[in-house]
């Protein structure tokens, strides 16, 4: 009996150590009031995105849930309004797999919303599922779609500066290796999916790095954020049904709840004083070094140019032959509150808010020193 109690005590002690050192996320602080500001969170109908949107709503922001499913998006908006007590939570349709949908969302948003202070790219996929596309679906949803959306909304972010862009990445970026000769080739089989997912997360980190370079001095800062190991739909979405009952208890014990996973993206969106770290990668609410492939400025610029072509921007753009249907109209917000009035042109100054000085403008950017590559487990 004593041996049994000792064993149970050791297991409990080990779990407590693992939980508080590896699982539990530090709470996000940052700006307490976001009244008068507007945030867009993609994929905010569940998991990390929903918890991120909830915290922004609790702090008084007007929050736009940019989601693919109207039914789930409107249901999430209703839940968040009830839980936060903030009626300024609305749904707008956005399917990142469709560049036409991205453009339609941007057009609708810019015509109805006078502000954009925080843009959080949370939506992502880890597998292509049964979908067969003539392009790399993982790269499209996880990087190209967010790249295009950022480009289209940048004028509003600049006029509302200081403002922020947060790209939710992953530690999987350490396994990524971008091959620019086959960047957009279709992904077939689970092994290619694993590789493509890691590549798309590396693209997130490089995108944040190059975006920071492009926006230096504009008052718009950007960050790549790793939410940590999270027990979300993304984790079990593509697991065989028979395996789910076995993995769910382990996931509950060993992985963070979505609320914990939202803390680092929220830190990057709200924490004062991190503007000089624009373009860097954050995990557990602090900046982390990345391997050489993720701090390669030449590769970051090459990815930027390739992404412009794949997103249909600039000279030599690819025609989007894969768009076979008209996207859903992203208008018709689900908020019971009255919508914003028709928007002034993007070149007009953004309406000011009482707390707009909480985020100081960018004055400099810390140069990243070359660091040794960490071991990859």
Active site residues: 197
Beta strands 286-288 and 281-283 are antiparallel
Q: Which residues, including other chains, have CB under 8 Å from residue 281's CB and lie 6 or more apart?
A: 169, 173, 205, 208, 223, 224, 225, 226, 287, 288, 289, 290, 294
DSSP string, 36-83: T-EEEEETTTSHHHHHHHHHHHHTT-EEEEEES-HHHHHHHHHHHHHH
Separation of alpha carbons 211 and 178, rounded Å? 18
Distance in Å from the first CA to the final CA of the chain:
39
Q: Determine the angle formed by the axes of helices 190-214 and 297-310, rounding to 10 degrees.
A: 100
Q: Which of 71, 36, 72, 73 is nearest to 56 (CA)?
A: 36
Beta strands 281-283 and 220-226 are parallel
DSSP string, 10-25: HHHHHHHHHIIIIISP
Separation of alpha carbons 311 and 90, rounded Å? 27
Q: How far is CA 98 from the centre of its chain?
A: 17
Give the pair of three-digit tokens for residue 185. Answer: 């080739």
């Amino acid at each position: 009996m004593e041996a049994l109690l000792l064993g149970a005590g050791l297991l409990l002690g080990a779990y407590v150590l693992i939980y508080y050192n590896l699982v539990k996320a530090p709470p996000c602080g940052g700006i307490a009031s976001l009244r008068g500001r507007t945030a867009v969170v993609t994929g905010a109908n569940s998991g990390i995105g929903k918890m991120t949107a909830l915290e922004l709503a609790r702090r008084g922001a007007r929050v736009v849930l940019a989601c693919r499913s109207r039914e789930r998006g409107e249901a999430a908006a209703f839940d968040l309004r009830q839980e936060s007590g903030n009626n300024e939570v609305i749904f707008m349709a956005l399917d990142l797999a469709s560049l036409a949908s991205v453009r339609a969302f941007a057009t609708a948003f810019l015509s109805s919303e006078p502000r954009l202070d925080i843009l959080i790219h949370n939506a992502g996929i880890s597998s292509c599922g049964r979908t067969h596309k003539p392009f790399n679906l993982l790269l499209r949803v996880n990087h190209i779609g967010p790249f295009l959306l950022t480009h289209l909304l940048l004028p509003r972010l600049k006029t509302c500066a200081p403002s922020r862009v947060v790209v939710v990445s992953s530690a999987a970026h350490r396994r990524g290796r971008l091959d620019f000769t086959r960047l957009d080739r279709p992904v077939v089989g689970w092994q290619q999916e694993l590789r493509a997912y890691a590549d798309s997360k590396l693209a997130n980190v490089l995108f944040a790095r190059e975006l920071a370079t492009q926006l230096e001095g504009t008052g718009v800062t950007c960050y790549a954020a790793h939410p940590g190991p999270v027990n979300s739909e993304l984790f079990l979405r593509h697991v065989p049904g028979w395996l789910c009952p076995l993995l769910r208890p382990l996931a509950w014990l060993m992985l963070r709840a979505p609320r914990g996973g939202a803390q680092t993206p929220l830190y990057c969106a709200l924490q004062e004083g991190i503007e000089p770290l624009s373009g860097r990668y954050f995990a557990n609410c602090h900046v982390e070094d990345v391997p050489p492939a993720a701090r390669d400025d030449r590769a970051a610029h090459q990815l930027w140019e390739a992404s412009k072509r794949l997103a249909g921007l600039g000279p030599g753009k690819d025609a989007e032959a894969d768009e076979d249907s008209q996207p859903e109209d992203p208008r018709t917000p689900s908020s019971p509150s009255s919508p914003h009035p028709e928007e002034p042109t993007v070149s007009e100054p953004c309406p000011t808010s009482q707390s707009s000085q909480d985020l100081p403008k960018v004055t400099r950017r810390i140069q990243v020193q070359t660091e040794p590559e960490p071991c990859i487990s």
